[in-house]
Structure 1
Amino acid sequence: MKRAIAEGSKLLILVLCLNFPSEAESCPGACVCYSEPKITISCQQQGLGAIPTEIPIQTQRIFLHSNKITVIRSTSFTSCRNMSILWIHSNNISLIEPGAFYGLDKLEELDLSDNTNLRSINPSTFQGLVHLHTLHLDRCGLLELSTGLFRGLFSLQYLYLQDNSLQNLLDDTFLDLANLTYLFLHGNRIKSLSENVFRGLINLDRLLLHQNRVSVIHRRAFHDLGKVMTLYLFNNNLTVLTGETMAPLVSLQYLRLNGNQWVCDCQARSLWDWFKQFKGSSSELECHLPAHLAGRDLKRLQSADLEGCVDSFNQIRTSVFSTKTRTGKLPTADPPLSPHDGGRKCCQPEMDKSFIYEAKAKAGPSSHSSRASSNNPLKDKENIAKTKPQVETDPSKNSSNKQINDSPFGTFPSAVDPPLTNLKPEFLGPIEPSTVPTKRRQGCSKKNKSRSQCRIAQPTQSTTSRLIPSLSITLLVWSLFWSC
């Protein structure tokens, strides 16, 4: 019996010894192969221009990163049915043929990042990868996500899409990703979030959307994100975000909304109310408009600060950002009112405080603030016409301490459209309603002005003509007195 066991042990050792050279011989050139902890082929940084053709069928992990591979063929991995990890990042891949990953139903992690020429991916590329839990597509130069690209990836938990050139996200792009927990979309050029863009992400925990160009978020965009705990939206182009939009985020703990152009008026009230019941951690929301609240944190304002609405904010942005000429200077506004125009003020009816100033030639910086104007409107307007804009260079006034440019990482063009914080305060200050010329003089109103004040502005006769009747009567009285 003992003899039989000893012979069996020798036979097993012999089989293992015979099997090891076989695996070593099948290892592709320029690669290193080993079997512990899993059967692995490592070919990184070997200058390979194509995927090796002789990959053993029992291989479980393949590392092909940091080479010069340009194409993934439909036949590149047909024999690798046991593969669970594929790293092919940091190459020059510009094309993935349809069916390149067909049959790899044991694949769990796929890293295609840092292939900046990839640009687009066929919708059927990832079909059948039912066990895939991690997918890296960051820094691939992607311009769009095709409809159905992630269809059937029911096991996916981590999706990396940051630092691409995505501008739009279609509805139901992530519909099948019910198990996704991390979604990284920062560093793109996304402009808006539609109603069903995140539909299906019922288990999402972390959503990073910072450093995009988001200016509009549909009020129901987050309706399936009840488990999100971390939301980053800083360094975008947001001006208004309603409390109704944020209401579905019942599990939210970490929120960053800094680096946006917040308008702190009546439009911000619902978000201000939402923050009153928010128990998590949040960054500051620095107000940009109206001017008298610029730089203050929206969350720390009082209810009275949010009374009144900035009128036509879109026109404000257009006015501020479109008035630059080819020389980089703002056009000059209208000259100050003449004294003749200024003399009519007392009899003018009360005007709407949200008066919009318009230049004669081109639209100048507008003001839509509901705040009361300065005491000397003529002087204020003269200052607006004469003052030249200066670029703010103090880094302490930039919340991120980093210049945002027009690259995929940025949010604002660096040389064309300065943020509102770079404009001098006088360009955002209110304009006195009384600068509007009237067609004809209105009658005086006791409600607005006293009779003596109105009499000053009325055209009067000369002093000599008013004294003649009085002198005549006086002389007549004196002549009668002396005659007596």
Structure 2
Amino acid sequence: MYCSQRKTLLQHKLLILVFCLNLPSAAESCPGACICYSEPKVTISCQQQGLTAIPIEIPIQSQRIFLHNNKITLVRSTSFTSCRNMTILWIYSNNISLIESGAFYGLDKLEEVDLSDNVNLKSINPATFRGLVHLHTLHLDRCGLLELSTGLFRGLFSLQYLYLQDNNLQTLLDNTFLDLANLTYLFLHGNKIKSLSENVFQGLINLDRLLLHQNRVSVIHRQAFHDLGKVMTLYLFNNNLTVLTGEMMAPLVSLQYLRLNGNQWVCDCQARSLWNWFKQFKGSSSELECHLPPQLAGRDLKRLQSSDLEGCVDSFNQIRTSVFSTKTRSGKLPTADPPLNSHDGSRKCCQPETDKSFIYEAKGKTGPSSHSSQSSPNNPLKDKENIAKTKYVETDPSKNGSNKQINDSPFGTYPTIVDTPLTKLKPEFLDPIEPSTVPTKKRQGCSKKNKSKAQCRFTQPGNSSTLQLNLSLLIPPLVWSLLLFC
């Protein structure tokens, strides 16, 4: 009798357990506009759903959150409070204009944040990314940024890839990147940067690729590159440069790929030190088309003879006249500013104590749309999933104000003559490797293991179909053992 009662009680408990395992978790349900799945990582995918706000019921176990291609305008300080397991956040191609202070506080497992293509995000609070010690990739390109606040990247010791291209940056402050000792790729092209100061790149001791093309750079401090001993790729094409010196380039001991075309080079005695530096440079370079003096116009500085550099341009008037007589890419006549440290309008030449890195800036100069870059194929921190990331081209003019096709080539595509064609670079520089952690743009269907659409919804790891199956296999042996025992 006693054994029979125990058997009945045990059977009731097992039935209750099985029933509970089949109940969906109300607290961890998937938001209605989203698809949730747990393999290969716990993911909530809500892209292209017309969302105007971040869903409030994001499951707390979520590791990857995809909210791109919506109409979200604000990231609140409480938007991700419960998402302490999040490693990847994609919220690009929205209408975000404000990120409240503390929006990412406590998310110390974050490895990648993509905020690109939010054209109204003109400034970011300097404490926004504070504490993200495992962040290795940060996308802030095409955000309309006007400045980089002091301390914005402070403490991001793990950061390797920083995308800042196609914004409206005009100035880079000293020590902006001071804590980024592990940064390898820095993309600053397509901005309006006018000068590079002595300590602007201080701390970037492991930087490999620096893209600064299509800016308005006219002044480079002679020690601006002093921490860039590991840089292999440097792009300065399509700026307002007229003079560089060998002293400036000397710290770039690892340089292999250099592009300086699209500047108005003055090929006189001021160019001799750069000409000498090129004699020992073993890498690949674009041509440096001479603009002045007139008899050398159109020739490549690197291919000149020593005797060609004996004279000096005697007056700034020559440069100004030449600049005013040449239309810019936009079809408008540029204006010219007086040279730095010049009081009488004339340019003294060939004095070693004078910093010859000045430029006469043509303010009206503009160029074609610039290029962004994809991550390196050798990113050890990326998941090795073959999921292709394709940023949608915005077709609603009221949303992001642009429907230009995105070009993510790491190299410029402007025609130029190079010593060694840039199309023959090493495979790791040319192969377009797509990020490995990107969701597909279609809703995820059931895996082969699932039997119904209901099983595609998000559930607690302990409530997964696999666990249910394992327990269902264990229940019969337990029941028979009890019956035999009794």
- TM (norm. structure 1) is 0.64
Q: Which amino acid aligns with 1:265?
A: D
How far the C-alpha of 1:306 sits from its partner, in A, is 0.2
State whether structure 2 residue 292 is matched by structure 1 residue 289.
yes
Partners in 1 of 2:185 and 2:218 — Cα distance? Answer: 23
Check 1:230–1:16 CA distance in 2 against 1; reply closer, same or farther (3 A cut): farther
Question: 1:140 is matched with which residue?
Answer: 143
Partners in 2 of 1:244 and 1:368 — Cα distance? Answer: 19
Partners in 1 of 2:333 and 2:29 — Cα distance? Answer: 69
How far the C-alpha of 1:311 sits from its partner, in A, is 1.9
SS in 1 for 2:24: helix
Partners in 1 of 2:219 and 2:22 — Cα distance? Answer: 62
Question: 2:114 is matched with which residue?
Answer: 111
Unaligned runs of 5+ in 1: 1-6, 331-362, 370-402, 411-484
State whether structure 2 residue 13 is matched by structure 1 residue 52.
no
**Cα displacement string for residues 327-355 of structure 1 (whole angstroms, at most 9, x for unaligned residues):** x999xxxxxxxxxxxxxxxxxxxxxxxxx
Question: Which protein, 1 or 2, shows the higher relative CO under an 8 Å CA cutoff with sep ≥ 6?
Answer: 2
Q: Which amino acid aligns with 2:37?
A: Y
Check 1:19–1:206 CA distance in 2 against 1; reply closer, same or farther (3 A cut): farther
Question: 2:320 is matched with which residue?
Answer: 318
State whether structure 2 residue 161 is matched by structure 1 residue 200.
no
State whether structure 2 residue 245 is matched by structure 1 residue 242.
yes
Question: 2:461 is matched with which residue?
Answer: none
Identical residues among aligned pairs (%): 83
Q: Which amino acid aligns with 2:56?
A: T
Check 1:289–1:329 CA distance in 2 against 1; reply closer, same or farther (3 A cut): closer
Question: 1:224 is matched with which residue?
Answer: 227
How far the C-alpha of 1:257 sits from its partner, in A, is 0.5
How far the C-alpha of 1:405 sits from its partner, in A, is 3.3
* Conservation of the 8 A alpha-carbon contact between 1:72 and 1:97: yes
How far the C-alpha of 1:312 sits from its partner, in A, is 3.2
Partners in 2 of 1:58 and 1:68 — Cα distance? Answer: 25
Partners in 2 of 1:45 and 1:273 — Cα distance? Answer: 55
How far the C-alpha of 1:29 sits from its partner, in A, is 1.5
**Cα displacement string for residues 65-86 of structure 1 (whole angstroms, at most 9, x for unaligned residues):** 0000000000000000000000
Unaligned runs of 5+ in 2: 1-9, 327-331, 335-344, 350-363, 372-486
- TM (norm. structure 2) is 0.64
Question: 1:189 is matched with which residue?
Answer: 192
- The higher radius of gyration belongs to 1
Partners in 2 of 1:17 and 1:250 — Cα distance? Answer: 66
**Cα displacement string for residues 414-433 of structure 1 (whole angstroms, at most 9, x for unaligned residues):** xxxxxxxxxxxxxxxxxxxx
Question: 1:405 is matched with which residue?
Answer: 366
Check 1:62–1:264 CA distance in 2 against 1; reply closer, same or farther (3 A cut): same
Partners in 2 of 1:179 and 1:20 — Cα distance? Answer: 47
Check 1:367–1:155 CA distance in 2 against 1; reply closer, same or farther (3 A cut): closer
Q: Which amino acid aligns with 1:273?
A: N
SS in 1 for 2:275: helix
Q: Pairwise mapping of residues 62-461 of structure 1 onto structure 2 (< 5 A)? A: 62-313=65-316, 315-321=317-323, 405=366, 409=370
Check 1:152–1:20 CA distance in 2 against 1; reply closer, same or farther (3 A cut): farther
Q: Which amino acid aligns with 1:114?
A: D
Partners in 1 of 2:19 and 2:34 — Cα distance? Answer: 22
**Cα displacement string for residues 392-438 of structure 1 (whole angstroms, at most 9, x for unaligned residues):** xxxxxxxxxxx97378759xxxxxxxxxxxxxxxxxxxxxxxxxxxx
SS in 2 for 1:22: coil
Check 1:28–1:167 CA distance in 2 against 1; reply closer, same or farther (3 A cut): same
How far the C-alpha of 1:19 sits from its partner, in A, is 7.4
How far the C-alpha of 1:308 sits from its partner, in A, is 1.2
Partners in 2 of 1:24 and 1:164 — Cα distance? Answer: 41
How far the C-alpha of 1:273 sits from its partner, in A, is 0.3
* Conservation of the 8 A alpha-carbon contact between 2:29 and 2:59: yes
* Conservation of the 8 A alpha-carbon contact between 2:315 and 2:347: no
Q: Which amino acid aligns with 1:318?
A: R
* Conservation of the 8 A alpha-carbon contact between 1:188 and 1:408: no
Aligned-residue Cα RMSD (Å) equals: 3.1
